[in-house]
Amino acid sequence: MSILKPHGRLSLCADYVREGSRLADIGTDHGYLPIALCQSGKIPSALACDINPLPLRSAQENIARFGLSKKIQTRLSDGLKEVSPDEADDIVIAGMGGELIRDILTAAPWVKDGKKHLVLQPMTHHDDLIRWLVVNGFAIIQQAAVRDDGKYYTVLSAQFTGDKTACDPYTALVGKLDLHEENSRGFLSRSLQNLRNKSKGDPSLLPVVQQLEEALYEAE
């Protein structure tokens, strides 16, 4: 049997999942992430969840093909609505907009538990997601960027501490990214360009544009 190895953004998500945790993969699509993690022995079991029946059927077929039907359950679920708190330790939500990820977490208040571990990969609005996390008492544990098929993505992990703090726009944009790391710089340069475009219609964003420009220049 072949070994499934995630690449790019999914590989980074897999790296952030804790050893031995029970996983809930929200928006699982083809089920590749839980399959790879169970195959490698990093996790004992997983829930592969999706809101759409067709991707879930594809995940079921892939799970069966790799002989993992006893370890990975599939579930039709709108976000975390069909997942109970005692079923998962680590929760991956990848491949969605940051605002949608925020809404999924808001609808599941049980994630505000220090024993739970979130692995999040926003496709857009990562700064809105980070701001929501910090303001609502979550700590960003780690964050990195990756280049995948010519595009840059960021993945972060977070846990609830209850320590609610303010989050200014610059902090929300940069998070815990290392400005000296090549992929982080690529990701933030793209974010800077988007911010410049937005500032044409909203001059209040210009100080943040300048702050990020200076930070990237100093880190060269």
Whole-number mean pLDDT of the chain?
A: 94
Q: What is the pLDDT of residues 149-194, one digit of tens each?
A: 899 999 999 999 999 989 999 999 999 999 999 999 999 999 999 9
Q: What is the reported pLDDT for 5?
A: 76
Residue 121, beta-bridge partner list? 94
Q: What is the reported pLDDT for 220?
A: 81
Asked if residue 111 has pLDDT above 70, the reply is yes
Q: What is the reported pLDDT for 1?
A: 58
Asked if residue 84 has pLDDT above 70, the reply is yes
Concatenated DSSP letters of 92-149: EEEEE-HHHHHHHHHT-GGG-STT-EEEEEESS-HHHHHHHHHHTTEEEEEEEEEEET
Q: What is the reported pLDDT for 21?
A: 97
Give φ, ψ of 25 to 5 degrees: -100, 110
8-165 carries CATH number 3.40.50.2300: no
Q: What is the pLDDT of residues 11-47, one digit of tens each?
A: 999 999 999 999 999 999 899 999 999 999 999 999 9
Q: What is the reported pLDDT for 151?
A: 93
Which residue, 108, 6, 94, 11, is CA-closest to 48? 94
Q: What distance in Å separates the CA atoms of residue 210 and residue 216, rounded to the nearest whole number?
A: 10
Locate the domains of the chain by residue range: 8-165, 178-220
Angle between helices 32-40 and 8-16 (to 10 degrees): 50
Q: What is the pLDDT of residues 57-69, one digit of tens each?
A: 999 999 999 999 9
